Amino acid sequence: MKKVLAVLLAVLIAATLFACSNEPASPNTSPDSPSAPASSPDASPPAAPPSVNEPNVGPAPERENLGWYTDDVDWFAREPYQIAFLYDRASATADLLDGALQNWSARVNFTYTSYNADSNADAFINTMGVLSQQGYTGMVLNPDASYADRVKQAAEEYGITWLPGFVPLLDMNGDPIWPQESLGIKYQADLMIDWLSANYQTYLGDIDRSKIGLISTSQYVVPVLKLVSDFCISNFQEAFPEAANNAFEVDTVNFGFDANGGYDAVAPFLAAHPEIEYWFVVGSIEDVVQGACRAIDAAGLTANTVAISCGANLLMDSWLSGTDTGCYKAGVYYSMEIYAEPLVCGIIAMLDGRATPETLWPEWKDPNQDYPVVTVACTILTVDNYDTYDDYVQAYLTAIENGTPLPPAP
């Protein structure tokens, strides 16, 4: 868990994602008409974000044992199912989920394989057909959102029982069009801004709150990422009303989705706003936030800034190697091993005939929506608690195996 690969690009899963995902992807909705990137010095704070159709995220609802390891079934009373993981392109996130699904194959009795389509939609869909002919009747599918509709149709034609890996499958109203897991769009924003509100004084001291500014890194071409940024801004304005006019969205699309993009977008923005004495930096893509922090350091503002991202893989690598992370202090994080549990157990519940896409995970089903959406429980990792996270994951897996109460996240 600790020695994970460096993040390349991240998305929300969202509801989703996310946050914590490592490759950019578009949801199954049309993007809003783009406006000029907010990296312009004259950018004004965006309007309040629209409402999203995701569940209120608090303590997870009590499990009803339909699509979980705690289901009342004997996993080894049948022949092994054949379950595959197909994904659009290589990334650290895909590698982590691949390994987690492989681990779960031994717990819930299925034969496993995976396939990287290398950003080729036809190869992805053709491989679905080939694998289904070979007996792989269950699949975790993570296409690019640009051809997710084709994948959904192909799964129906091939008779494949499936769940999405990370790509959010939403209609134009933001309602799910298939059961799925999500990192929660507003949930991620709430976690980041709530953590900053509760902890900024630890790093910055008792400062004048009216002199705090927010840099919300965003990517307007990916509506899910744009929504997280919007919610971060509205949450900041609510938590720091005296600094409401100091909240800015810095879009990196014209510069890139990586650390260089974060640096190139944020560096000129900082120079254009010398009136802001202190900064909060947030974002869905960890690489972008890391690049923004490099710009903060180059501007001599490290001691006056606190940054948090969705994702903590790069942070954990730095902490493990003893590297100073500067103003980059925390990340929203979740275990891929825990994330994989409802995916494999949900697919098996449907293969068993115990559930349908509409009845899976009933405790997560919004009565106004056709399909359930499980919101992944995340935690905030810092240098003070990251080394206990592996212990939490092992305690979680032990608890579900023994039927004992789940441990609290660190």
| Average pLDDT value for residue range 174-189 | 89
Vertex 332 angle, CA 329 and 336, to 5°: 130
Question: What pLDDT score was predicted for residue 251?
Answer: 96
Question: What pLDDT score was predicted for residue 305?
Answer: 98
Amino acid at 275: E
| Average pLDDT value for residue range 82-100 | 91
Give strand pairing partners of 113. Answer: 84
Domain ranges of the chain: 39-51+184-333+378-410, 61-180+335-377
Question: What pLDDT score was predicted for residue 44?
Answer: 42
Q: What whole-number percentage of the chain has pLDDT above 90?
A: 68
What CA–CA distance (Å, rounded) separates 363 from 7?
Answer: 32
What CA–CA distance (Å, rounded) separates 373 from 126?
Answer: 28
What CA–CA distance (Å, rounded) separates 355 from 203?
Answer: 49
- Flag whether pLDDT at 5 surpasses 50: no
Fold match flag (39-51+184-333+378-410 vs 61-180+335-377): yes
| Confidence grade of residue 32 (pLDDT, cut at 50, 70, 90) | very low
What CA–CA distance (Å, rounded) separates 133 from 158?
Answer: 9
Stated pTM of the model: 0.78
The tens digit of pLDDT for each residue in 284-314 reads: 999 999 999 999 999 999 999 999 999 888 8
Question: What pLDDT score was predicted for residue 33?
Answer: 28
Topology of domain 61-180+335-377, CATH: Rossmann fold (3.40.50)
- Flag whether pLDDT at 13 surpasses 50: no
- Flag whether pLDDT at 42 surpasses 50: no
Closest CA to 183 of 296, 335, 295, 370: 335
Mean pLDDT of the chain: 86
The tens digit of pLDDT for each residue in 92-128 reads: 788 989 999 999 999 999 999 999 999 999 999 999 9
The tens digit of pLDDT for each residue in 357-408 reads: 999 999 999 999 999 999 888 899 999 999 989 899 999 999 998 988 888 7
Question: What pLDDT score was predicted for residue 54?
Answer: 53
Residues present in the chain in total: 410
Question: What pLDDT score was predicted for residue 59?
Answer: 59
Residue pointed to by tokens 């192909």: 154
Q: What whole-number percentage of the chain has pLDDT above 70?
A: 86
- Flag whether pLDDT at 3 surpasses 60: no
Q: Terminus-to-terminus CA distance in the chain, angstroms?
A: 15
Question: What pLDDT score was predicted for residue 39?
Answer: 39
**Considering only 31-35, 290-294, 321-325, 349-353, which range has the smallest mean pLDDT?**
31-35
What CA–CA distance (Å, rounded) separates 318 from 309?
Answer: 14
- Flag whether pLDDT at 16 surpasses 80: no
CATH 3.40.50.2300 fits 39-51+184-333+378-410, yes or no: yes
- Flag whether pLDDT at 28 surpasses 70: no
